[in-house]
């Protein structure tokens, strides 16, 4: 499958994993849970090897809103790595064993009107 997304030149070795660069938390979770543990490991190992450079690159990049498209794709790929790391390091499974099916859970920040909710005020007891 051809992707319109690209990565910064120094991370071209990760091009094979662009299908992991999903734009929302729900889509990233769906990608992880629909992948085999072997596919997750392949992605995880490739990202882990470059993670120090990825973090340094993103630390030096402009803010997300001002970053170019390839840098934003790299950032999204890093978010997918965080999801994949749960499968590899904690669950040893693409899904959360004995967990709630992801289809019934929707991240609040992906629901309509979430940004209009009143701010939470923290007050001392």
pTM value is 0.76
- Contact yes or no for 22/77 (Cβ under 8 A): no
Q: What is the pLDDT of residues 30-63, one digit of tens each?
A: 899 899 999 999 999 999 999 999 999 999 887 7
Rounded Cα–Cα distance for residues 39 and 65 (Å): 31
Domain edges within the chain: 20-93
pLDDT < 70: residue spans in the chain? 1-4, 97-114, 119-125
Task: Answer yes or no: are the C-beta atoms of 58 and 52 closer than 8 Å.
Answer: no
Cβ count within 10 A of residue 31: 20
Within 8 A by CB and 6+ apart from 81, the residues are: 20, 43, 44, 47, 48, 51
């Amino acid at each position: 499958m051809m992707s319109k997304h690209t990565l910064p030149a120094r991370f071209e070795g990760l091009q094979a994993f662009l299908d992991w660069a999903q734009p929302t938390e729900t889509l990233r979770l769906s990608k992880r849970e629909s992948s085999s543990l072997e596919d997750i490991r392949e992605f995880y190992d490739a990202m882990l090897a470059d993670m120090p450079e990825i973090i340094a690159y993103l630390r030096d990049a402009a803010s997300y809103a001002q970053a170019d498209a390839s840098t934003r794709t790299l950032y999204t790929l890093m978010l997918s790595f965080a999801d994949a790391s749960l499968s590899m390091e904690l669950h040893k499974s693409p899904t959360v064993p004995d967990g709630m099916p992801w289809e019934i859970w929707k991240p609040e920040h992906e629901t309509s009107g979430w940004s209009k909710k009143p701010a939470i005020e923290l007050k001392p007891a």
